């Protein structure tokens, strides 16, 4: 229960983000943020004498929203800046310069930039919340699958094998094995709060990465140590704090079934 509460607190409070890595989608969105407003403004050039500047600005805002919805907040901000610049260059007098002589045009350009930045923030936030919901549903599905297996399966080995697979996929591990009732050596340990301790040092995987070698994740039943998963990190990014808290929950479920299964293998 404490782990589930930790996941909920993480939803509410957030955590310090890991260093940003740019995916192909992010790079494409940034390119679109630069290019889309330019292309839209270019299309509007033949109509710039008949189209009101307000309508032209609204059309460019649509382009900004599209980029922000597809990509990231950064891409939306780039699109807003690009929209304001190309609105000035193509659609205000004197044309094809970055000078604006009419005060009304200056106000429209400033409003375009401000509105573009605001809607890009909103669109990116909506996309992030949608992704978070999908991710949370996947996490909960793992917990529910394991809970169902714990209730229906008499074999502790079957549950252990299932959780090994879940942990490998959840944390992007290269390997995962389980040691029954053994405490040898002092490898780094994944703690209940999602941090990692290595000796006397506490690691924050979000900023420090995983320690080298295997990291243990212990399974307890009624407060008694019953075994541990040995996690070998994969080459991908460090799993999020939410994922690590779910991993702790899965280990707790394993400990519960080991506790009811009787003596463990030694």
Binned at pLDDT 50, 70 and 90, residue 134 comes out as low
H-type helices in the chain, by residue range? 2-13, 24-44, 53-70, 73-91, 103-152, 156-171, 205-208, 241-260
Binned at pLDDT 50, 70 and 90, residue 68 comes out as confident
pTM of this structure: 0.54
pLDDT, one tens digit per residue, over 232-266 is: 999 888 999 889 999 999 999 999 889 887 644 54
Mean pLDDT over each residue of the chain, to the nearest integer: 83
- Among 229, 96, 94, smallest CA distance to 165 is for 229
pLDDT at residue 23, as a whole number: 62
Sign of CA dihedral 98, 103, 108, 110: positive
Binned at pLDDT 50, 70 and 90, residue 15 comes out as very low
Binned at pLDDT 50, 70 and 90, residue 6 comes out as very low
What separation in angstroms does the CA of 69 have from each of 30, 98, 110, 127, 136? 12, 28, 22, 6, 20
Residues 6+ apart with CB under 8 A from 34: 78, 79, 82
> In the predicted model, what is the mean pLDDT of residues 25-39?
89
Report the distance separating Cα 88 and Cα 56, nearest Å.
11
- Among 106, 24, 107, 29, smallest CA distance to 72 is for 29
- Residue 8 pLDDT > 70: no
Do the Cβ atoms of 244 and 140 come closer than 8 Å? no
- Among 63, 57, 62, smallest CA distance to 108 is for 57
Report the distance separating Cα 5 and Cα 221, nearest Å.
19
Count CB atoms within 10 A of the CB of residue 1: 7
């Amino acid at each position: 229960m404490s782990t589930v509460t930790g996941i909920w607190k993480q939803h509410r409070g957030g955590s310090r983000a890991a260093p940003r890595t740019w995916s192909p989608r992010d790079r494409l969105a940034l390119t679109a943020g630069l290019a889309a407003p330019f292309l839209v403004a270019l299309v509007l050039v033949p109509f710039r004498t008949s189209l009101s500047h307000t309508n032209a600005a609204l059309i460019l805002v649509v382009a900004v929203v599209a980029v922000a919805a597809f990509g990231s907040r950064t891409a939306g901000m780039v699109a807003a800046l690009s929209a304001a610049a190309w609105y000035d260059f193509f659609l205000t007098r004197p044309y094809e310069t970055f000078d604006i002589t009419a005060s009304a045009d200056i106000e429209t350009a400033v409003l375009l930039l401000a509105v573009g930045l605001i809607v890009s923030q909103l669109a990116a936030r909506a996309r992030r919340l949608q992704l978070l919901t999908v991710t949370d549903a996947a996490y909960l599905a793992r917990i529910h699958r394991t809970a169902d297996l714990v209730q229906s399966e008499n074999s502790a080995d079957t549950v252990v094998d299932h959780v090994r697979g879940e942990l490998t996929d959840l944390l992007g591990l290269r390997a995962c094995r389980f040691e029954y009732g053994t405490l040898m050596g002092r490898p780094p340990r994944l703690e209940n709060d999602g941090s990692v301790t290595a000796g006397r040092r506490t690691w924050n995987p979000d900023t420090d990465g995983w320690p080298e070698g295997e990291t243990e994740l212990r399974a307890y039943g009624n407060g008694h140590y019953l075994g541990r998963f040995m996690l070998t990190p994969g080459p991908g990014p460090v799993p999020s704090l939410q994922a690590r808290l779910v991993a702790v929950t899965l280990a707790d479920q394993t400990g519960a079934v080991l506790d009811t299964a009787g003596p463990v293998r030694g």
